[in-house]
Amino acid sequence: MTKAKFSLKPLSKFSIASCAVICVTQGAVARDFSPPTYVSIIQQAVDRAYSHYKTVTDGENASYISYLAKANTKFYGIVVVTTDGAIFKAGDADYPFPIESIAKVFTLAHVMKIQGPKTVQNKIGVNATGLPFNSALAIELNHDKLTGSPPPGNPLVNAGAIATASLVDGKSLEEKWNMLLREASAFAGHPLTLNKDVYDSEMADNQHNLAIAVLLKSYKSLYADPTETIDLYTRECSYDVTAKDLAVMGATLANGGTNPLTHQAVTDAETSMRVLAVMATAGLYNTSGEWLYNVGLPAKSGVGGGIVAVVPGKMAIAVYSSPLDAAGNSVRGQLAIQSIAQDLGVNIFKIQMQK
Ligand code: GLN
């Protein structure tokens, strides 16, 4: 992917008023404190992360997709959206970029809502692969268990995501695609559109993903035609979003499936909960363990440079910055989210002491 040597480390100390810890971790963001207090604390955390990492140049653009290789590395935007619908921004919050792997979350949510969590577990799998996002070896290792027809892995890495795309219902490719785009748009709260240049660029270099689809088919773990499935999967990777869109999409999951801006029930609370669990297992591919250890939030990244982390019941934090680490995760995105999460004291493993 890239020669970048970045790896996320624990941050040493909290630096924003300890009030933020109480304010955001104990119950509702807006309910326990007057709006000016929590507003200034969250905006302060966003601004601090923005300015602190603005000059970081570590990482490289994804080079295996020619469109992404040319992305302008100076764009950098951060957005927090709370489950109350408040929005906090810094930098290039409205700059569009291809969603890439983050779309896997919303396709998973769609398939899980329609077909149920058991189907996802049995036909796709929900364990971490511990291997790079585009690993074909992960399929081979799983099938070596010789347990009949075991699932391809995890819906948030390529093999599992391709299998997930093959479970989308519809009479034609167009019908399936329109369904996925409509659903993703509902998560974002406005119509999203396919970036045709990205789609063409990826389709031209898609041999590896096609090979994964054919391998899955040979193991009876692909549930539709490989060529059509890869077309659908590539379309889902190729729609544009902004950091603000990602934050709204993540905040919808944080809010039990109801978009906090449009108030549309896009999905249900159980689906949101299980999708977040899968994000925790594999949202950052083979560095998901380090991420969970250091940040403690379910998150999802894409090789387009986007990343979104979710604080269940409270908010989502999204960042765009195209240079990636060796696993394919935005370098500045990880740093900024870690900083904001730590400033606000949000971590799903944090013990809430009762007074
Ligand atoms: N479209 C990309 C691929 O299939 C998505 C990968 C990613 O974002 N990690 O390789």
Tokens of 194: 């396919």
pLDDT tens profile 14-30: 445 444 443 444 444 44
Same domain, 114 and 226: yes
Tell which wins on pLDDT, 80 or 355: 80
**Do residues 107 and 96 both lie within one domain?**
no
Residue for token pair 């007074």: 355
233 lines ligand 1 (CB under 6 A): no
In a mutational test of the pocket of ligand 1, which residue from 1, 100, 105, 231 has the highest number of ligand atoms less than 8 Å from its CB?
100
Between the CA of 42 and the centroid of ligand 1 the distance, in Å, is: 31
CATH of the domain at 161: 3.40.710.10
- Other CB atoms within a 10 A radius of the CB of residue 31 amount to 8
Q: Measured from the CB, is residue 303 less than 6 Å from ligand 1?
A: yes
Residue 70 lies in domain: 13-100+240-344
Quick check: is 132 in a domain? yes
Ligand 1 binding pocket includes 325 (Cβ within 6 Å)? no
Q: Is 158 in the pocket of ligand 1 (CB under 6 A)?
A: yes
> Whole-model pTM?
0.91
Residue 133 token pair: 């996002």
237 lines ligand 1 (CB under 6 A): yes
Q: DSSP character for 287?
A: G
246 and 330 in a common domain: yes
* 151-198 pLDDT tens trace: 678 999 999 999 999 999 999 999 999 999 999 999 999 999 999 999
Are 121 and 244 in a shared domain? no
Q: Could you tell which of 104, 202, 203, 286 is best to mutate to test the pocket of ligand 1, judged by most ligand atoms within 8 Å of the CB?
A: 202
Per the structure, the count of domains in the chain is: 2
Atom of ligand 1 nearest to the CA of 100: 8
- Cβ neighbours of residue 74 closer than 8 Å, sequence gap 6 or more: none
Look at residues 236, 260, 290 and tell me which one is the last residue of a structural domain.
Answer: 236
Q: List residues bridging with 306 in a β-sheet.
A: 320
Q: How many CA atoms lie within 13 A of 99 on its CB side?
A: 32
Condensed to tens digits (0 to 9), the pLDDT of residues 274-333 reads 999 999 999 999 999 999 999 999 999 999 999 999 999 999 999 999 999 999 999 999
* Nearest-angstrom CA–CA distance, 195 and 235: 9
* Alpha helices (runs of H) in the chain, residue ranges in sequence order: 19-25, 35-53, 66-69, 103-115, 117-123, 137-143, 158-165, 173-188, 196-204, 207-218, 226-237, 243-254, 269-282, 288-294, 331-344
Same domain? For 122 and 217 the reply is yes
